[in-house]
């Protein structure tokens, strides 16, 4: 058989950027197109095992969820020497989990996070799928320097006085990644995600409103990013959160934003807003930052 590794033929490994029970993720440059990719290598699951279902789930989901600016893009997947390999878009800003280690997100960053991830969820749900493992570790950040001609002084003939703080601003884009738990809304085969973000109804195997499980997980994710962490994995604190009580936060958020977060973690899934309703919420309207 062809024992030349496609992985080593097509990619130059730059660095290990993640390691877990799932496998290892490398930052790689593709030798042909010169672009950077995130490539995950996981041990090939035993045929017929739950791991195989997850691995195939992920690739099927990526194949269905083509190009969307708030879903990490998929390029290719293949099996070689007992490994499953998936090549995805590389997001150069780390994961949201990395970002909130040092300090919580500000009100404005929380609004941007909710807008981007709600957009991504609206797209995933519109394709008849649900993510089922929304959490900071599965949301990736892309940072791009955008040229903003804001205070361009026509007197200058060039950009010699380019003050890069005003013109080259950093724009953050949040992208939903890790589609390993994605399942179909119509005939769900739920592999529970991280219990810190799991709504009570899923724990009780009530799959009648799966899209609202993603909304709940996004609500808890936003609370954690606002400084409510570390989140409980069980016990009284876990149940208090499932009674819809927003925990004390180390920062003052606008009443509108707190009301939106409370709505997203309501005990009754049918009372939580859909991604579309989140996007129309007054807490996220442009003038709400005043």
Ligand X SMILES: Cn1cc(CCO)c2c3c(c(-c4ccccc4Cl)cc21)C(=O)NC3=O
The catalytic site residues sit at: 133
Q: Taking CB under 6 A as the rule, which mask of x and - marks residues 120-149 in contact with ligand X?
A: --------------------x---------
Among the listed residues 7, 51, 90, 123, the single contact to ligand X using CB under 6 A: 90
Binding residues among 140-199 for ligand X as defined by CB under 6 A: 140, 177-178
For ligand X, the closer CB: 41 or 127: 41
CB of 19 to ligand X, least distance (A): 8
CB of 204 to ligand X, least distance (A): 28
For ligand X, the closer CB: 88 or 211: 88
CB 58 within 8 A of CB 86: yes
Angle of helix 210-223 versus helix 255-264 axis, rounded to 10: 140
CB of 100 to ligand X, least distance (A): 14
For ligand X, the closer CB: 55 or 253: 55
Stretch that binds ligand X, among 93-101, 143-151, 154-162, 193-201 (CB under 6 A): 93-101
CB of 3 to ligand X, least distance (A): 24
Does 89 interact with ligand X (rule: CB under 6 A)?
A: yes
Among the listed residues 10, 11, 28, 40, the single contact to ligand X using CB under 6 A: 40
CB 210 within 8 A of CB 185: yes
CA dihedral 80, 65, 192, 269 (to 10 degrees): 180
CB of 290 to ligand X, least distance (A): 33
For ligand X, the closer CB: 177 or 193: 177
Does 88 interact with ligand X (rule: CB under 6 A)?
A: yes
For ligand X, the closer CB: 90 or 174: 90
Site for ligand X, rule CB under 6 A: 17-18, 25, 38, 40, 72, 86, 88-95, 140, 177-178
């Amino acid at each position: 058989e062809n024992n030349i590794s496609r992985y080593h033929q097509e990619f130059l490994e730059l660095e290990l950027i993640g390691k877990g029970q799932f496998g290892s993720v490398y930052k790689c440059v593709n030798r042909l197109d010169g672009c950077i990719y995130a490539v995950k290598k996981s041990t090939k699951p035993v045929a017929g095992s739950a791991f195989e279902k997850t691995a195939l789930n992920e690739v099927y989901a990526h194949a269905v969820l083509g190009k969307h600016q708030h879903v990490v893009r998929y390029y290719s997947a293949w099996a070689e020497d007992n490994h499953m390999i998936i090549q995805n878009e590389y997001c150069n800003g780390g994961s949201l989990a990395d970002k909130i280690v040092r300090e919580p997100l500000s009100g404005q960053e929380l609004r941007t996070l909710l807008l981007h991830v709600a957009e991504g969820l609206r797209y995933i749900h519109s394709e008849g799928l649900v993510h089922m493992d929304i959490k900071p570790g599965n949301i990736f950040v892309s940072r791009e320097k955008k040229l903003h001609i804001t205070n361009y002084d026509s007197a200058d003939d060039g950009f010699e006085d380019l003050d890069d703080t005003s013109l080259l601003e950093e724009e953050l884009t949040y992208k939903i990644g890790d589609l390993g738990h994605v399942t179909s809304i119509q005939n769900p085969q739920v592999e529970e995600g991280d219990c810190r973000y799991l709504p009570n109804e899923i724990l009780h195997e009530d799959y009648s409103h799966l899209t609202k499980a993603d909304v709940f997980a996004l609500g808890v994710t936003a609370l954690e990013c606002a400084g409510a962490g570390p989140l409980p994995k069980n016990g009284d604190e876990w149940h208090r959160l499932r009674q819809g009580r927003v925990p004390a936060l180390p920062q003052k958020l606008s009443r509108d934003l707190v009301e939106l977060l409370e709505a997203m973690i309501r005990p009754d899934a049918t009372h939580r807003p859909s991604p579309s309703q989140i996007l129309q919420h007054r807490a996220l309207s442009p003038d709400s930052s005043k």
